[in-house]
Amino acid sequence: MNPTLLPVAAELFAQWQRARGSRTEPATRPFSRGWEDLLADAGLVSAPDRNEAERDARALAADGWMEIKPVQYKSHLIDRIAIPLAAEMRWREAFGFVPPSDEETRRIREFSWEPALAFLPKISLNIPFAELCQLNEFLKVGRNQRDLVPIKERSLQLFGDEKRLDSLLATSLFRPERLDLRRDLRCEVVGEPLPWKRGPAAAAQQPIIVIENAATWHSYCRWNAGQQLFSAVIYGGGNRFMDGVPYLEEVFAELGGARRIFYFGDLDPHGLLIPQLASARAKAAGLPGVEPHRWSYLQLLTLGAGLGQPWEGETPAAEICDWLGDCAGPVRQLFAAGRRLAQEHVGWEFLRHQTGSN
């Protein structure tokens, strides 16, 4: 099994590296992370992503890469995961991480860096001197005249590896007052495009709706073909929707202009955080804010009554539910009970008999 290909493992190692990578003395306790926090940090918030992450974690544990601590009295749920001390070298080798030698540290300290990298001698960093020099060479040659490009294109140009810059974003290179992607490297993170399906012609002037998970998106597309409620049904893909907000401009251009944006997703803290963060980004870009599709959430609360799945984690701030308006109260109660509701409760067998409402 190759952990470098698994998002949950890549995030765990990145956090291990930030916490421990620069230490020279041996560790005495395994590095561990709360499961829900790790999922959130990795952007694995939709139900399919969470399920896949859990399968990956259990497979890694079975192969000795990590240890899983289950929730007390709920052995089927993950509370924390840890990298065993004996497995740390295995993780290092898999991800190609080699701490800098004393010689590398000396070279970093004595090298004449470009102004944008002048902070390097003053910080502890686990990045090879050769890679830092590649960044330095780029900064020497007319960066202000370069076009703004996607991060993976710039990464390939700099390192011969389209993913290297993504991993460096988690390091101290890119903390405030240090290196900046847009200003210094003239690149930006590009979100995945938003898949969407145009509604019937009769719905051309109607709002759009963004659906968090793929199965529910499919059912809403089928439903909208008859109900004609939405000019487009967009697949949000969980956390990907936040990065994909700029693509809404293209959707609006295809539809003939901006219109209201509704959202329907899982009723769990991460599921509510996604549309609210996306709404802030949309407004900052001059687009309409993201609103809850009240009808859908009401159906989910009704259909899922007594069927919620356990959700382990800290009880979120009550304010996270305010976005739901008059649905906020029941959802606060749901969270207080440690439960969540998957949006798939509002499925095709139910929708085909309903007349929805905006």
Helices 129-140, 151-159: inter-axial angle, 10-degree rounding: 110
**Mean pLDDT across 154-177:** 83
Judge if 334 and 226 occupy the same domain: yes
Judge if 240 and 328 occupy the same domain: yes
Judge if 200 and 249 occupy the same domain: yes
d(CA 296, CA 169): 37
Spell out the residues 6+ positions from residue 169 whose beta carbon is closer than 8 angstroms to its own: 181, 189
Residue 276: predicted pLDDT = 93
Structure-token pair, residue 248 = 């809404």
Select the more confidently predicted residue: 350 or 49.
350
Judge if 343 and 237 occupy the same domain: yes
Range of the domain at 86: 3-95
Judge if 322 and 345 occupy the same domain: yes
In a domain, 33, yes or no: yes
**Mean pLDDT across 82-86:** 90
Judge if 200 and 335 occupy the same domain: yes
**Mean pLDDT across 21-37:** 74
Select the more confidently predicted residue: 106 or 169.
106
**Mean pLDDT across 179-204:** 90
In a domain, 139, yes or no: yes
Judge if 136 and 18 occupy the same domain: no
Judge if 344 and 227 occupy the same domain: yes
Select the more confidently predicted residue: 325 or 190.
325
Span of 15-24, 29-38, 98-107 with lowest mean pLDDT: 15-24
Question: Each residue of 93-137: pLDDT tens digit?
Answer: 787 766 667 787 888 888 999 999 999 988 877 778 888 999 999
pLDDT at 170 over 70: no
Q: Report if pTM > 0.75.
A: no
Judge if 66 and 118 occupy the same domain: no
| Three-state DSSP class for residue 179 | coil
| Residue appearing with tokens 């955080």 | 273
- The count of domains in the chain is 3
Residue 267: predicted pLDDT = 92
Span of 16-25, 230-239, 296-305 with lowest mean pLDDT: 16-25
Judge if 203 and 230 occupy the same domain: yes
